[in-house]
Amino acid sequence: MTDARRVALVASTAGYVGPDLARSLAARGHDLVIGDPVDGLVDELTGLGATVEAVTGVHNLASLASATALVEAAVSRFGRIDSAVAATGRIVVGRFLKSSVEDLRAAVVGCLEAPYNFLRAVVPEMVAKGEGQVLVITSASAVRPTPGAPLYSSARAGANMLVRNVADEIASTGVQVNSVGTNFMDFPEFLAASKATTPEGRARVEAQVPMGRLGTMQEFASFCMPYLDGTSRFTTGQFVAYAGGWA
């Protein structure tokens, strides 16, 4: 590759690990296409030396139009995409015996259709170029029974198998496709869903984690870098749980 700076696409920087992924990629010499950035993030990334293309209204990857808009913005601004990452999923909780087919459909749309749309948009662009790295962020619940969230866990498992199938299909093109799944991460939505917003609640949740604490966004972003920054190009079709030993 002749250009000094790689181009990375971060599908959503509205929250969760998106802002930290963007910061880490900018610090590693990437220009960026980012979806729905939080206030101040574009200026911060520019200060780190990145050229940034921000795309708004694309947070919902369950709509193919969102992923398509991100890819079109990348190609229009930079002419290519070297790496792309998306965190997808809709949490659907409740016991199986009390569930409905509507619950199942909600889980499938949020946890399987959304990563499908993301992959369907970014993979052909990379295949045509003959290289690239794709990372889909799913959930550690995909690899073990998850009481209280069986439909969510099942849909997440489907997403991981989709990643493996796509990776197998295109491995000879030089494009890598991997997934990483989290649980017990320290961010507002997880704390609220787990009733861990009080010291007592947090202690109860942390007691479920073999490492005895919640994971941070900064360390998770660092963990993702080899799958995105071009430094490790000999692994594809893999899933890794990032959950403090829980999975």
pLDDT value of residue 1: 41
Tokens at 143, concatenated: 């690899």
* Rounded Cα gap, residues 24 and 17, in angstroms: 11
Q: pLDDT confidence of 2, banded at 50, 70, 90?
A: very low
Non-local (6+) Cβ contacts of 10 within 8 A are 18, 21, 22, 25, 32, 33, 34, 35, 84, 85, 86
pLDDT of 13-67, one tens digit each? 999 999 999 999 999 999 999 999 999 999 999 999 999 999 999 999 999 999 9
Q: Are 14 and 59 in contact (CB under 8 A)?
A: yes
Average pLDDT over residues 62-81: 97
Q: Is 74 helix (H, G, I), strand (E, B) or coil?
A: helix
Fold of 6-183+218-242: Rossmann fold (3.40.50)
Tokens 């990372």 locate to 135
Average pLDDT over residues 117-121: 98
Sequence ranges of the domains in the chain: 6-183+218-242
pLDDT of 145-163, one tens digit each? 998 899 999 999 999 999 9
pLDDT value of residue 3: 53
